[in-house]
Structure 1
Amino acid sequence: MNSGDTAWVLAAAALVMLMTPGLAFFYGGMVGAKSVLNMLMMNFVMLGVVSTLWVLYGYSEAFGDDAFHGLIGDTSHVLLRDTHGTMAGPAGHQIPTMAFAMFQLMFAVITTALISGSIAERTRFWPWLLFAVGWCSVVYFPVAHWVFHATGFTGTDADGVSAEVGGWIVNNLKAFDFAGGTAVHINAGAAGLAMALVLRQRLGWPKSIPRPHNVPFTLLGAALLWFGWYGFNAGSALAANDLAALAFTNTTVATGAALLAWIVVEQLRDGKPTTLGAASGAVAGLVAITPACGFVDTIGALAIGIAAGIVCALAVGMKFFFGLDDSLDVVGVHLFGGLVGTLLVGVFADAAVNPAGGDGLLYGGGWTQVQRQAIAAGAVLVYSFAATYLLAKLIDLIIGFRVGETAELEGIDETEHAETAYDLSPVAQALGMSQTHRSPPRRVDQPW
């Protein structure tokens, strides 16, 4: 057991956990004041839902011994059984399997939470939770098996016994995805596209929808995401080594470049750079560098960041052309950013940086790796979109996914959660009362 690697993976897991509340703030600032609590709850509650599923069967479905042609894991780790041994990391370093399980849990949590941004301000809370349970079970856990379960990271039980493991994308197709460009971002982006189609446009969209109520919230959320993303990317080295340092550096370089590229596009297109644009540009860079951060040098990271900033800034405007009410740009940022990063791995991968990755197009590898990346991206996109659309449509038909028109127009915090984020009533302010309490106002001559 390597104590340094173990400490780093546990710290990285904690950083990735922080990304989910960071995402809640990022999304929460962009919705109207009367729907912010619903947005925060849709994200924050995923820590409870996905963690429970992960222990019951999720980890086994994603990282159990392969059960069927690299498509899904078996039941060997149900209830986290046989996870008390060690897992081989890079260069033979050993970390506890439980540490790896907790690190990967945080990926599952935030991937599911990402989808909520595409259906903000019109979604009933309990159908959303039901959807999350189904989506994790049918989409995320199998796709994580395809992408992350490499035979190079063989898990062993307490007796040192290992079995055949691995998913088809990483082991058979041999596409590169260092930290989740396909399994996380293309997966969530395609699901967001399907959800936006099923739940349809908000009332009055695009002319009369609530303005972002708290842009500082969004910038704070972006900063927390950036901070946590170091655990996301550098932690995926599963060791405290030079590969982790490379991933850390590339994450910084690409994110900064994407931020600048986005606000330059805004200046040229709209005449002004915006705070929302800067926050979104940073997230676009984080998304795009995720699959590439352990396979490219800093020049490659810079190019990927610039490409992501430009492509995603242009993509978010396409939703108006196509009539797609992707409320908080999950498709524009995560789907398009994930595609940019995943495909460009095949262009900029450098075996001198990471021999396990091989060479991309610009380093003599030809088009082979680009083709592999395209197949991986396409497979995840199509499967996630189709499965999500069917699941969401089924829930919508049976119990209904959208809130009523009155609730949507007036804000859904009151109808879904019986509380509000802000006390906006002058009378309540004068009496020193909060709207989150349901007791009626008292008369001046009446004791509390």
Structure 2
Amino acid sequence: MAPAITLAAEAPKLSAANTGFMLICSALVLIMTPGLAFFYGGMVRVKSTLNMLMMSFISMGIITILWVLYGFSLAFGTDKGSFIGWTSDWVGLSNVGLTELWPGYTIPVFVFMVFQLMFAIITPALISGALADRVKFTAWSLFITLWATVVYFPVAHWVWGTGGWAFDLGVIDFAGGTAVHINAGAAALGVILVIGKRVGFKKDPMRPHSLPLVMLGSGLLWFGWFGFNAGSWLGNDDGVGALMFVNTQVATAAAMLAWLIYEKIRHGAFTTLGAASGAVAGLVAITPSGGAVSPLGAIAVGAIAGVVCAMAVGLKYRFGYDDSLDVVGVHLVGGVIGSLLIGFFASGKGQSTVEGLFYGGGLTQFWKQCAGVFAVLGYSLVVSAILAFVIDRTMGMRVTEDEEIAGIDQAEHAETAYDFSGAGGGIVGGSVSALAGTQSKKVDA
């Protein structure tokens, strides 16, 4: 009888299809940052529009350079003590082969790197919504440089890096409930507790100046989020990416409807701002959970997030913290809800065999989720507050009161978002002639 032959498992080969898919997903995630800029830009008063846009756009510049220089290595390099990574060959990306594959997958390291870069870009940009109207642009630029280095890069390693403590513990975060949304939301809370309220908070009207811009921004976010979520399975052909795509749509729809129903009952109207905010709340909540729950579970996650986040945005008036554009109420609270509900709604038929309480799995996964959620929340809150305090005491975080009242766009960027001088023609050129002719006719009459 011939001896049995053991065949070695075939090593993964580069897949052109998966590579192309992931590059498209990377572009979709990138477009979320301009989408966020429009979403936030429409929600502020007209005198702060450009500053809000720039606070997102500058992240695309600063974080890209940091990621190439050392951020990718810190987040996804060889584990060092379960807290941080480091691979010297990835510093500056000069020693990465063009066809070198990401371990265990069929896409190049460069593709994985650029996909994760887009996550690193949008996360600090999310924080900016809480700081509208009052932060120096230079101080903001320095803050996100330091914050990405000491908060985002380590937390990304905890959650997604091989050897990261949360990863090894079994905390489920498909695409960024902890690393992105809780991280950014907690950071926002830490900073605003240090820098204080806007001039006129709870006294002056601070309504959105352009709800069409808000709706455009939320639409771009919804569109790009399919790359954010479905792409996070890195092109594996086992159906989980498709499940995540479906659940992203389902949960977002449920959250938007739930938010609108809540505000109709609570405030008597269905608002466009409520629709946009509800959609974002659903996107946030399904981000960590969408690979672990069924579509029916996604409806539940979205509906719960829509109602709870709608309630949470009012907490700033009760407790007196000035979260300008509800980053805490939507991103922090939505991220916590989406992450913790995995412990109840995980079906065992998606990204893993883990089952939540409602599927007979007990509370084991819930407690793991709690560990990940509150560790990230506490770390980001404390370190972000310390960074803001140090910057505020050295170079100052805020513009002057006079500059804030006059408008941060003019003070920080020497520009205004809209030029109304020519609106309707103005009394210039031909308009002067027309006015003169009209006066002449009145005299003749």
Superposition TM-score, scaled by structure 2 size = 0.90
Residue 287 (structure 2) pairs with residue 290 (structure 1):
yes
Q: Secondary structure at the match of 1:35?
A: helix
Give CA-to-partner distance per residue, 1:128-168, whole Å, 9 cap, x none. Answer: 00001000000000000000113xxxxxxxxxxxxxxx311
Tell me the distance in 2 between the aligned counterparts of 1:430 and 1:213: 26
Residue 184 (structure 2) pairs with residue 188 (structure 1):
yes
CA contact (8 A) 2:75 2:84 kept: no
Task: Give the corresponding residue for 1:126.
Answer: 138
Kindly tell me: are residues 426 and 82 of structure 1, through their superposed partners in 2, closer, same or farther at Cα, counting changes over 3 Å?
A: closer
Tell me the distance in 2 between the aligned counterparts of 1:255 and 1:374: 23
Tell me the distance in 1 between the aligned counterparts of 2:264 and 2:175: 32
- Pick from 373, 390, 396: which aligns with 1:394? 390
Task: Give the corresponding residue for 2:247.
Answer: 250
Letter in 2 for 1:411: G
Tell me the distance in 1 between the aligned counterparts of 2:414 and 2:192: 25
Segments of structure 1 that go 5 or more residues without pairing to the other structure are: 151-165, 433-448
Task: Give the corresponding residue for 2:376.
Answer: 380
Shift of 1:87: 1.2
Residue 158 (structure 2) pairs with residue 146 (structure 1):
yes
CA contact (8 A) 1:64 1:73 kept: yes
Tell me the distance in 2 between the aligned counterparts of 1:318 and 1:55: 39
Correspondence list, 1:193-342, <5 A:
193-239=189-235, 241=237, 242-342=239-339
Segments of structure 2 that go 5 or more residues without pairing to the other structure are: 1-13, 430-445
Give CA-to-partner distance per residue, 1:298-331, whole Å, 9 cap, x none. Answer: 0110100001001000000111000010000000
- Pick from 11, 14, 25: which aligns with 1:12? 25
Shift of 1:76: 4.0
Residue 62 (structure 2) pairs with residue 65 (structure 1):
no
Shift of 1:361: 1.3
Q: Secondary structure at the match of 2:341?
A: helix
More helix by share: 2
Residue 97 (structure 2) pairs with residue 101 (structure 1):
no
Tell me the distance in 2 between the aligned counterparts of 1:345 and 1:315: 20
Deviates more, 1:195-204 or 1:96-105: 195-204
Give CA-to-partner distance per residue, 1:340-363, whole Å, 9 cap, x none. Answer: 000011111122233x35111111
Q: Secondary structure at the match of 1:34?
A: helix
Task: Give the corresponding residue for 2:11.
Answer: none
Give CA-to-partner distance per residue, 1:177-196, whole Å, 9 cap, x none. Answer: 00000000000000010111
Give CA-to-partner distance per residue, 1:261-305, whole Å, 9 cap, x none. Answer: 001110111011110010000000000000011111101101000
Query: Rg bigger for which structure?
Result: 2
CA contact (8 A) 1:4 1:240 kept: no
Kindly tell me: are residues 136 and 206 of structure 1, through their superposed partners in 2, closer, same or farther at Cα, counting changes over 3 Å?
A: same
Give CA-to-partner distance per residue, 1:40-77, whole Å, 9 cap, x none. Answer: 00001111000000011000000111122343435342
Letter in 1 for 2:37: A
CA contact (8 A) 1:72 1:146 kept: no
Residue 16 (structure 2) pairs with residue 3 (structure 1):
yes
CA contact (8 A) 2:64 2:121 kept: yes
Letter in 1 for 2:72: Y
Task: Give the corresponding residue for 2:434.
Answer: none
Letter in 2 for 1:236: S
CA contact (8 A) 1:73 1:145 kept: no
Kindly tell me: are residues 108 and 358 of structure 1, through their superposed partners in 2, closer, same or farther at Cα, counting changes over 3 Å?
A: same
CA contact (8 A) 1:263 1:278 kept: yes
Superposition TM-score, scaled by structure 1 size = 0.90
Tell me the distance in 2 between the aligned counterparts of 1:145 and 1:431: 60
Letter in 1 for 2:381: F
Give CA-to-partner distance per residue, 1:343-390, whole Å, 9 cap, x none. Answer: 011111122233x35111111211100000001000000000000000
Task: Give the corresponding residue for 2:165.
Answer: 168
Tell me the distance in 1 between the aligned counterparts of 2:230 and 2:368: 24
Q: Secondary structure at the match of 2:125?
A: helix
